[in-house]
Structure 1
Amino acid sequence: MSLKDKVYRLFSYISQVYSIDLPVVRHVSEYKAELWWQADLIHSEQCKIKEFNTESDASEEETGEVIGSDAWLSVTKRQYDHPPDLPEILKEWINLSLNPNKKPSAKPSLQKTILFNSDKERVAAFEKYKEVWLEWKKSKEEQMPTAIPEILNGWLKDLKLEDEDLSTIPEWRFEEKFEDNSARMIALNSYISGQWKLWSERVLPLFRANELYDQLFSLHQRLSVEGDRVEIAWGHVFLTWGYSEVNTVYHPLILTSMNLNFDPERRHIFLTPSQTIPTKVDMECLQNLEYPSKDELIKFVLKSNNNDLPPDVWSHNQMRGFASTFTGFISNEPAERSNLYSDELTSKPPVSNYPVIYNSPVIFVRERMRRLWVDDAKKIAEAVYNNADIPPFIKSLIAEPHSQEMPNPEDYVDRNITIDEDGGELLLPKEYNEQQEEVVKKLKNHFGALVQGPPGTGKSHTIANMVSSLLAQGKRVLVTSQTENALKVLRDQIPPEIQSLCVSQLGNDTEAKRQLNEAVDAIGKRLAEKNSEVIEQRIKRIKDELRHTREEQAIFRNQIKNWVELDAFTIQIDSESVSAVQAAKECSENEKDHAWFPDRILENTEPPLDENDLLEMCSLLKEISPEDRNSCVLHLPLPESILSAEQFTEKVIRWKSLSSISAEAEALRSGWDDKLYQSQYDDIQSAIKKLEEALLSLRDASLAWQQQILEFIILEERQNDYWQGFLDKCHSLREAAWQSFQVSRGYEIEISQNLPDDIDIEAALDELDRRKPTNFINIFLLSKPAKLIYRSVKVDGHQLKTEERIEIAKAYFSYNNLLKKIKSIWEQAIQAVNGTDLALTGSMPLAEIDEGIKRLCCPINWKKNYFADIGKTLMSHGCCEQGLYKQDVLECALKVLNCQLAEIERGKIEKDLAEYYQFFIRETSKKGAHVLWIDFAASVKGKDVEKYREAFNELTRLISLSEKTERLEQLSRRLKTVAPLWCASLEKKAQHIGQEALEKDWKTAWRWKRLNEWLNKLHSRESVESLQTKLERARRKEKELIVDLVKERTWQRQIANVQTHHYSALVAWENAMRRYGKGSGRYAHRWLTAAAKAMVNAVGAVPAWIMPLHKVIQSFPAESGVFDVIIVDEASQCDLRALSVLFRGKKILIVGDPEQISP
C-alpha cells in the first residue's frame, strides 16, 4: 500500500470515527444546557434586546453608516432597592426577600425572650423591694416583708427564710403566635398590597436582568474552560412538528453563532453575532426525515446560505416570507395553519402533528457540532486522493520505520533562510536558554521539534520567542491548542513592535476584529517600505551596534575573570614569563638606578625601535637642522610638478622677446581692422606660411620689366590675356625649335655659299625629297632653288641625296628659322616693358630662350598662384592695404602677421604664468604650506628669474634631504607614539651630541617601566561591582537591539511576502466590516458575508494566527502548506482532531508536559 493510500485511509478513518453516534438534535431542550426564550426576557435599561426592524425603518445610509449597537443582548448588573421597611408591628414576624417574585410571608410563631434589665421600672421596683427585704433580714422579725410588687411577679426566685440575699431570674422565654395579634394580619395585608407591590413592580426588570446576568456569568466561566466544545446560538423562525411518536421537531431553523463578551469593570455582559460565521439556515433537525419536496427545500436552503445577503433575522417581513416559503415546501397545510409567524414574540410554542413555524426566538447553548470535524477530515482525504502534497509530519506518522517512505530531515532544511544575511542570529527577542536555542536550530533543520516541560516552566515564553523568530525569518505561523485557555496570554508576550502581525481569535470576535484591523492598518502603512534600502540601512546599523555591544560584554567578562585570577597573573617580557611577585621584587631592586624613564607605557608595549634605529635617529637629528626638518615635513612643491629654473627662464626670455616683437608692429597694426585681433593662432600661422611662399616666389620676378608685367596683368585683365597668350606662343615655338634641334643634333651641316634671302628653302627641300636627286636626269630636272640647295648644303660632307639627309637639312633650317621667329616676337613684346632682348648668339640659344621664358613665367604664375589667395587671406585677417603684389607691401603685411602671432604667444605665456601664479597662491593657503610657495608665487608674478632660481635651488636642496627627514620622522613618530617625553628629550640632546644622547641602560629602564605599570594596573582596575553593572547594562542594550532587529527583519520579510491580492482582500475585509459597523443596519448581514469571503484571501497577508483547533478548520482551507510552522500548545489535551489541523503545516512544533506526551 502506498503512502498516499495510507494517509487517505487515515483521514477517512478519522471522519468515520467522528461520524459514529453523531447525534441529531431535533428538540432544543435535548442540548441539556442553558436556554432562554426571547419572549421571556424583560427589556429594561439593564437588559437591552435588539429590536426587530419594520419596512419603514431607515437603518442604514448609502454611506454604510449604521445606527444602534452591535450587541443583540446587553445585560448589566446593578444593585436595586431593598423592599420597603416593615411596620413596627411586623418586624421580626415577616420573611422578606430581595426577589420581587416572592411575596412576604409571616412566621407562624416566635420564641421570645424578655430580659429582666430591659424594663427600668422593674429594675427600680426590684431595688426598692430588695432594700426592704434586707432590712427585714437584719431585724430578724418572723413576719415577711409586705407583698411582692406586681411588676416583679414571676421574676423573683423562690424565697426562703434562710436566704441571705434576694435574686431575680435574668430572662423570661415564651412562644408567641402570629395570629395572636389580629392587628398584625391587617398590617401585613396592607403592606403587601401597598408598598411592597409598588416596589416589586419597579424592581422586577432589574431583578430579572441580574438573574440573567448571573446565568450568563456562569456561562462565561464555563466557556473559559469548555470554549472549544460548546457554543452559543441565537435561533429564529422556530419549527414545531410532531413528526412521529419518537421524532418531535422543536428547533429554530435560522441560527446565528454568538460571542459572549464580558466587561468585568462595568459588570456588563453582552452577546454579539460572530463576525466569522454568518447567519445561516440550519436543517440539522430535519436530518434523516422524509417530507414533501425535500430536494427542492434543500436547494432553497443552499441558495439562501450562499446568498451575498444572508437572512436578516430581525426583519419581520423577511422572516415571514422565509417561513411562508419553507412551510410551503414541507407541508400541504394552508399558510394560515402552518405559518404562524407574527410580529408578536412567543415562547414555548405548542407542538402540532404537522409543521408549524412560530416567531419564537431562543438563545441556547450546545456542544459544537462534530460534523465540522467530519467534513474537514473528508476534505483532507479528498485532497490527498487528488495528489495534494503530504506534510512530512503526517508522513512520519504513517510511514513504516526505516523505510524509504520516511521523510528525510535533510529535505526539509530551511535553505531559503538567508543565514549569512542574519549572521547566524537566532532572532529571539526574549530571554532564552540553550534548550530554546536548540529548538530553533532543530526546527530549521528538521520538519518538527518537541518542547517538553511541566506547567510553570516557561513554555508560553518559549512559544512567544519562537513565533517572533519565525516571523523575523519571513514565516507564516499558527499557534493552536485544544482549548483557548492555553493561548490567552501568548499574544501579549509577543514584542509590541510586531504584535500587530499576530491575530488572536479566542472566543471574542470583537477583539479578533480589532486585531485584524490593526494588522491591516499596520501592513498598509509598511507597504511603502517594500524593497526599500532604508530598512536595510537600519538593519545594518542595528547589527553594528549589536556586535559592538557583544564585544563590550566580552571585555567586561574578561575583566571580571581577571579579578578572580589575579594571583596567577604573569607577563611575557623579553621572552620570559614574569609573575607578579617577581615583577615587584625586580622593580624594588632597580628603582634607584633605572626608574628615570619619563613616560607611562602599557605593560605589553615593546620598544618600537631597536638599538640601531635609536642610534640612526640620533645621527639624523645631528645631521639635519631643526629648521630643515621642519621645512621637509611641511607641504613642499614637487620638482616634477613645477617648472625648472631653466624652463622658467626660457619662458620669461621668450615672453620678453615676443613683447619686443609685438611692440615693433604696433604702428603697422593700426592700419588693420579688428579682424586681426580676432584671428586665431593657427589661422595666422597658415597665413604667414602662404605669405612667405608668395614672397619667396615674388623674388624670382624682381626685375623691373617683370614687376611691370605683374602690375599690368593684375591691374588689367586684357593684359593678363595678352601676356598669357604671348607666353603660350613662346612655349610653342620653343618646343618646335627643340624638336628640330633634336633631329639635326649630332650632324655637321655645311653650306658652301650664302643662300639668297628670298629663297624658299623649305619648298626646295620638299622638291628634293620628291625627286630624289640620285642621277643626273633627276638633278637636271630640279628647279633652280632646289639645285642651289643641293649643291650648297651637305650633311656630314655628303650631298642631299638620301631622304634622311634631306630630313636632317629640313630640321636644321627649321631650327634656325624658329630661333629667328622667337627672337623677333620676343623683341616686339618685351620692348614694351623695357625688358631684356634675346641675343641668341651663343652656343646654346635654346637655354637663353628657356631663361627668358622662365623669367616671363614668374610674374604670370605668381599672379595665378598667389595673388587671389593672398588677397583673400590677408583681408580675412583685417588687412586693408592695396598693392598686394608689391614686395614691400607684402613684407609689411608679413611683419604685421608675425607681430600679431608674437602678441598671441605672448598673451598665452602671460596666461600660463598667471595660472602658474594662482597655482602657487592656492598651495600657499593649504595647511602646512612652506614659505617657498610664497617665494615662487612672488617670483612668477614679477617674472623675476633670479628669485625663481634661488627658490628652485632651495627646493632642490630640501628635496635632497627629504628622504633622510622622512626616515627621521618615521623613527621619531614610532617612538613618540609610545614614549613622547623620552623622544623629546632625545631630540633635544641629539641635536648637539648625536649618538651619545642615547642612554646606555635604556632597555633596562624600559623593562622597569613596563613591570611597574603592570603592577599598578593590577591594583587599580575597575571594581567587580562596577563591571557587573556595566555588563548588565550591556545585556539590556543587547536585548533591546535584538528586539529592534527582530522588528526590522520581521517587517522587511513579511511585507515582502504580501502579495497584491492578499492586501486587496484585507482592504475588502476592512471595508466590509466598516460597513457592517455595529450590526444593526439593514444590510449588515450582507457585509458580514462579504467580510467572510474576503477573509479567504486575507489570511495570506497576516503571518501569525493564534486560535483553538475548532476555529482553525472554520477559518482555513483543508490544504497542506497553509502555514510554514504550526505550534501546538498543551498538546497532551489534543486528540485525533489535531491531525486535521497539522495537515495544514509544513513544519510542526509540539509543546506540552513530558509526563503526558510520548517522546
Structure 2
Amino acid sequence: MDTVRARLAGLIEFVKQTALMQKRPALTVTQHNAFSVSEEKLRALPGVSLDVLESDEDEVWLRLERLHETRPPAPLSPLLALWIELKGTPQTEPALKLRVAREVLIGSGLLSEPELSRLTVVGIDISEDAPLDEWVNLEECLDAGEIRAQFKSYSQTAWRLWAAEEKLRRKSIELYAELFLLVQQMQGNLGDAQLELVWGLGVSTWEHPVVGLIHYPLISQLVELAINPDTMAIEVRPRAAQPRLEVDAYVAADIPGVGALATLAKDYFKKDQVAISPFNPSSYEPVIRSASSLLDAQGQFLPATVAEGDRSVPKAAEHLCVTDTWTLFARTRDSNLFIEDLGRFESAIEEIGELPPALQAILTEPSSVLEDVILPPFRGLSYVSGSQGGDAPGTKVHELYFPKPYNDEQVQIIQLLEMHDGVVVQGPPGTGKTHTIANVISHYLANGKRVLVTSMKDPALAVLQEKLPEDIRPLAISLLSSEADGMKQFEFAIQKISAEVQRIDRSLYKREIGQIDDEINTLHGQMASVDREITHWAERNLSDLEIDGERLSPTHAALQVAVAQDEVNGFAGTTALPIRSGLATNIVRNSACKTSSPCVRRGWRSRTRWLTWATKSHNWPTSRMRKR
C-alpha cells in the first residue's frame, strides 16, 4: 500500500472511531430529548388520519390537520347566559356569577313577573335620599332556583361533552405546533441540530439488571415530514431507505442473541418484496417475534396475550416484553448510517486503481516551493491576470459563461479551477459567495459539465437555486430533507428537458449557433481593438520622454508645465493644451518632487522645447500651436 492510500485508510478509520466515541446507545425514546408520541396517544386525537393512500406511489402514514380552538357552547337558556361565567378553557369549569347588574337584568326582559316587580323602583320601598343598589345578588334573586337547575344541566351535558372533545382537540393543536417546529428544525431554519424523524416498530420494554430500563422500538424506518401547501396539514411519509434493526441497547447489555437476530433481520428485509409498514404487521412481525426469544429466553411477544384494540405498552419487568405497537420520534441523525457510508466508501476506494486527483491532493504533503502558475486566458478579459497573453501564438483562449455581473476575483476562481483540483473561497455572509457559485455553476453547465453543490442546511440551497438564471433553473435538482420535494423537482426537470428535446430543430439550432458565434467573434475583435488602442495611448502617456538628449518621466514633464505656467499661458488663446493647469498643480502638490528639486531647477522653460514635447508626446500638428 502506497503512502497516499495508507493515509486515506488511516483517515477513514480515525473518522469511524471518532463517530463511535460520540455515539451512546439509546435505551429509551425519551433519552433523545426531542419530539416523541406513541401510537396509543395518536389514535385518540382528532384531526389525525393514518395510512392514507393518496395514489399508488404516494403513501402517507400520518396526516395531522390544522385545527383551531373552539369556544364553549352557549347555554340554551338566555337567563342562564346572564348569570354564567365561562373561561373558554376545558380545564376550568363554568361557574355562576355572584351578582349581575340591575339594569342588565331589567333590560333583558327575561325575568319573571315577581322578580321584575321586585327589582323596579316602584316595587322597592326606599326613601328619596337612599341610593339604589346597582347590583343584584344571586342569593336574593327570586329566580335563583331555576338558574341553578339550568346551570347544573348545562355543566353536566353540553359543557362536559365540549370539554372532553376540546381537550383532545387542543392536544392535537399542541402536537401540530411541535411538528411544525420540527419541520423548521429539520430544514435548518432553526438551530444547528441535525435531526431525523423515525417511525419505530415493535416497541419493547425490559428492566435489565445490567443497563437498566429499556423502552425502545426494535425496528426503525426513516420518515420525512412535510406541510401540505394547500391544506396546511402536516404529513409523514416513509423515506426510500432500508429499515434498521435497533439493537444498540442489547449490545450494551451484552446479549448473546444479537448476532443471530441481526442476521435474521438482514435476510428477511432483503428478500421481502413487500415494503415495511406499521399498518401491515406481517411486514415486520416475524422479526420482532423472533427477537422476543433470541434476546431473552423467557421473553414474551405481547400481541398474543392482550385484548384486541389495546395499543398500550406495559411497564418494564424483569423479562423482555415485545409489542407490535409503534411510536414516532425525532433524534439526532444516527451515526450508524454515517459509519456504513464510510465502509462503502472504503470498499469503493479499494476497487479503483488510481485515486482521483482531488483526493490525492488532500492526502499529499503540500509543496515547500512557491511555484508561479500561469493562469489560462479568457477572451475579452484583458484586465484579469492571465488573460493578457491570449493573443500569443499557440495559446488556448477560453470562453467565459457568466450570466450575472462579476469581477476579476470571480474570473480568477474559474482560472484556478482550470489549473487545480480544488479552490477554497472564504468570506463572511453578504460578500457574494452565493452569487459567485451561481456564475460558476452556469459556466460549467454551458461547458457540458455536471456540478454537485452540498450544504449543511436546506435554505442555502434554496437561495442558490433562486440565484440561477431562470432558463437553467429547471436543471438544478435540490435533494433536500424532503425526498418528495426532490422527486417533484426531478420529474419537472425531466419534463422540461423532454419538451425542449422534442422541439429541437438541429439544422436551425446549428445556424443560430453559427450566427451567435460570428457575433461573439466580431464583438471580441472590437474589444481587442479597443484594448490595443488603450494600451497604445497608455504607453504614449506613461513612457519616458527624450528631449534634446534629456529623458524625462511624464510626472516630471507635468511638473515643468506647472512651474512654467506663465510661459505656457503665453501661447495663443486658441491653442489646445494637453494638460489643464489645475491637473498640473495637483500633480505638483501630490508629488514627492517639489518645485525646489533639481528637475525643476534645470529649467526647460523654452517655448521651442515645450512645443517639441507637446508635438511628440501627443501627436499634435504644429499648425495648431502657431499664433494667428
Kept after mapping to 1: 8 A contact 2:247/2:258:
no
**1:266 is matched with which residue: 224, 231, 246?**
231
Q: Distance in 2 between matches of 1:362 and 1:178?
A: 57
SS of 1:480's partner is: coil
Distance 1:81 1:471, change over 3 A: same
Question: Which residue is equivalent to 2:422?
Answer: 448
Q: Distance in 1 between matches of 2:306 and 2:518?
A: 73
Distance 1:502 1:303, change over 3 A: same
Q: String of CA shifts for 1:942-978, please: whole Å, max 9, x gaps.
A: xxxxxxxxxxxxxxxxxxxxxxxxxxxxxxxxxxxxx
Distance 1:175 1:17, change over 3 A: farther
SS of 1:325's partner is: helix
Deviation for aligned residue 1:485: 2.5
Kept after mapping to 2: 8 A contact 1:259/1:271:
yes
Question: Which residue is equivalent to 1:241?
Answer: 206
SS of 2:338's partner is: helix
SS of 2:425's partner is: strand
Q: Distance in 1 between matches of 2:400 and 2:342?
A: 36
Q: How many residues align?
A: 498
Q: Which residue type is aligned with residue 410 of structure 2?
A: Q
Deviation for aligned residue 1:362: 0.8
Distance 1:320 1:308, change over 3 A: closer
Distance 1:259 1:318, change over 3 A: closer
Distance 1:440 1:396, change over 3 A: same
Q: String of CA shifts for 1:355-380, please: whole Å, max 9, x gaps.
A: 22212211111111123333444555
Normalised TM-score (structure 2): 0.66
Kept after mapping to 2: 8 A contact 1:338/1:355:
no
Q: Which residue type is aligned with residue 317 of structure 2?
A: S
**2:65 is matched with which residue: 76, 79, 94?**
76
Question: Which residue is equivalent to 1:6?
Answer: 7
Aligned: 1:497 with 2:471: yes
**2:258 is matched with which residue: 287, 291, 294?**
294
Q: Which residue type is aligned with residue 23 of structure 1?
A: R
Aligned: 1:284 with 2:273: no
Q: Which residue type is aligned with residue 41 of structure 2?
A: D
Aligned: 1:32 with 2:33: yes
Q: Distance in 2 between matches of 1:412 and 1:4?
A: 32
State the identity %: 21
Gaps of 5+ in 1: 52-58, 60-64, 120-147, 156-170, 558-578, 584-1159
Deviation for aligned residue 1:489: 1.8
Question: Which residue is equivalent to 1:216?
Answer: 179
Kept after mapping to 1: 8 A contact 2:302/2:322:
no
Kept after mapping to 2: 8 A contact 1:233/1:256:
yes
**After superposition, where does 1:41-440 map in structure 2 within 5 Å?**
41-42=42-43, 46-50=47-51, 70-79=59-68, 81-86=70-75, 88-89=79-80, 91=82, 94-99=85-90, 102=91, 104-106=93-95, 150=127, 152-154=129-131, 185-200=148-163, 206-225=169-188, 226=191, 229-244=194-209, 246-264=211-229, 266-275=231-240, 277-291=241-255, 293-307=257-271, 309=273, 310-333=275-298, 344=309, 346-380=311-345, 389-390=354-355, 395-403=360-368, 424-440=398-414
Q: Which residue type is aligned with residue 94 of structure 2?
A: S
Kept after mapping to 1: 8 A contact 2:211/2:253:
no
**After superposition, where does 1:1114-1153 map in structure 2 within 5 Å?**
none
Q: String of CA shifts for 1:402-436, please: whole Å, max 9, x gaps.
A: 359x999899999xxxx999963211222222222
Kept after mapping to 1: 8 A contact 2:185/2:193:
no
Kept after mapping to 1: 8 A contact 2:63/2:234:
yes
Distance 1:187 1:394, change over 3 A: same
Q: Which has the higher contact order (CA 8 A, sep 6+)?
A: 1
Q: String of CA shifts for 1:555-577, please: whole Å, max 9, x gaps.
A: 999xxxxxxxxxxxxxxxxxxxx
SS of 2:288's partner is: helix
Q: String of CA shifts for 1:215-247, please: whole Å, max 9, x gaps.
A: 211222322335861011111222222222633
Question: Which residue is equivalent to 2:541?
Answer: none
Kept after mapping to 2: 8 A contact 1:8/1:384:
no
Distance 1:423 1:234, change over 3 A: same
Kept after mapping to 2: 8 A contact 1:35/1:364:
yes
SS of 2:63's partner is: strand
Deviation for aligned residue 1:542: 2.8
Q: Distance in 2 between matches of 1:412 and 1:435?
A: 14
Question: Which residue is equivalent to 1:22?
Answer: 23
Q: Distance in 2 between matches of 1:440 and 1:330?
A: 58
SS of 2:424's partner is: strand
Deviation for aligned residue 1:325: 3.1
Question: Which residue is equivalent to 2:451?
Answer: 477
Question: Which residue is equivalent to 1:515?
Answer: 489
Kept after mapping to 2: 8 A contact 1:345/1:359:
no
Q: Which residue type is aligned with residue 442 of structure 2?
A: S
Distance 1:179 1:41, change over 3 A: farther
Q: String of CA shifts for 1:622-647, please: whole Å, max 9, x gaps.
A: xxxxxxxxxxxxxxxxxxxxxxxxxx
Q: Distance in 2 between matches of 1:239 and 1:202?
A: 31
SS of 2:225's partner is: strand
Q: Distance in 1 between matches of 2:83 and 2:523?
A: 79
Q: Distance in 2 between matches of 1:467 and 1:513?
A: 21
Q: Distance in 2 between matches of 1:409 and 1:401?
A: 15
Q: Which residue type is aligned with residue 188 of structure 1?
A: F
Q: Distance in 1 between matches of 2:140 and 2:63?
A: 45
Q: Which residue type is aligned with residue 19 of structure 2?
A: Y
Kept after mapping to 2: 8 A contact 1:396/1:407:
no
Q: Distance in 2 between matches of 1:68 and 1:463?
A: 35
Q: Distance in 2 between matches of 1:317 and 1:175?
A: 67
Q: Which residue type is aligned with residue 39 of structure 2?
A: Q
Q: Which residue type is aligned with residue 247 of structure 2?
A: M
Q: String of CA shifts for 1:740-777, please: whole Å, max 9, x gaps.
A: xxxxxxxxxxxxxxxxxxxxxxxxxxxxxxxxxxxxxx
Distance 1:386 1:289, change over 3 A: farther
Deviation for aligned residue 1:525: 6.2
Gaps of 5+ in 2: 108-124, 379-389, 532-571, 577-628
Normalised TM-score (structure 1): 0.38
Deviation for aligned residue 1:344: 2.8
SS of 1:517's partner is: helix
SS of 2:49's partner is: strand
Distance 1:505 1:345, change over 3 A: farther
Kept after mapping to 2: 8 A contact 1:413/1:444:
no
Q: String of CA shifts for 1:530-565, please: whole Å, max 9, x gaps.
A: 9967655443233234456678999999xxxxxxxx
SS of 1:456's partner is: coil
Question: Which residue is equivalent to 2:431?
Answer: 457
Q: Distance in 2 between matches of 1:16 and 1:179?
A: 81
**Max radius of gyration: which structure?**
1
Q: Return 328-337 or 523-532, whichever deviates more.
A: 523-532
Q: Which residue type is aligned with residue 500 of structure 1?
A: P
Q: Distance in 2 between matches of 1:411 and 1:431?
A: 21
Distance 1:449 1:534, change over 3 A: farther
Q: Which residue type is aligned with residue 34 of structure 1?
A: F
Question: Which residue is equivalent to 2:549?
Answer: none
Q: Distance in 1 between matches of 2:226 and 2:406?
A: 35
